[in-house]
Amino acid sequence: MPTEPRPAARPVDAADPSPRSRPTVAALLGIEALMLAATATYSFLGVSGGALGATFGVGLGVFLLLFALALAFAARSILSRGRFGLGFGITWQLFQALVGVSLLRGALYWQGALALLLAVALFVLLTRLVRSTPLPGGDS
């Protein structure tokens, strides 16, 4: 009677690449959240000033506030070594890079460069934290 193969043991979670990496990543995600909240506020002000249509401006503002809140939760998750912050953060950086490139193509150079720089820096920092974050259901 053949024996069932044993599942491979999960490698022990690695240490953080540097002691300051988690607070740095969390701070940068927090800055992104504040920037999104500021853009949402600008959108609401555009509606009240008549520069944006009410439906579009309010919808855009609510959309941006929801993502700002999600980024704030991701920053908190990174600090507590949770997995949500990594998954959401990496995915968000891909979208932000697309937005940054679109801003550059639309002749918004400093805004696009800032969005692209933050996206690339955070993507690299977040991917460095993947191995040092415990898997769900782990002992730690």
Asked if the model's pLDDT at residue 30 lies above 80, the reply is yes
pTM check: above 0.75: yes
pLDDT at residue 32, rounded to an integer: 92
Q: Domain map of the chain by residue range?
A: 31-80, 83-130
Is 37:68 a contact under the CB 8 Å cutoff?
A: yes
If one counts every other C-beta atom within 10 angstroms of the C-beta of residue 122, the result is: 22
| pLDDT tens-digit readout, 2-18 | 666 655 544 545 566 66
pLDDT at residue 91, rounded to an integer: 94
pLDDT at residue 12, rounded to an integer: 47
Calculate mean pLDDT across residues 111-123. 93
Q: Can you tell me the distance from the alpha carbon of 104 to that of 116, in angstroms, rounded to the nearest whole number?
A: 9
Please tell me whether residue 138 adopts helix, strand or coil conformation: coil
| pLDDT tens-digit readout, 52-104 | 888 988 999 999 999 999 999 999 999 988 888 899 999 999 999 999 999 89
Confidence class of residue 135 from pLDDT cuts 50, 70 and 90?
low
Give the burial string for 35-71 (b: 16+ CB within 10 Å, else e).
bbbebbeebbebbeeeebeeeebeebbeebbebbebb
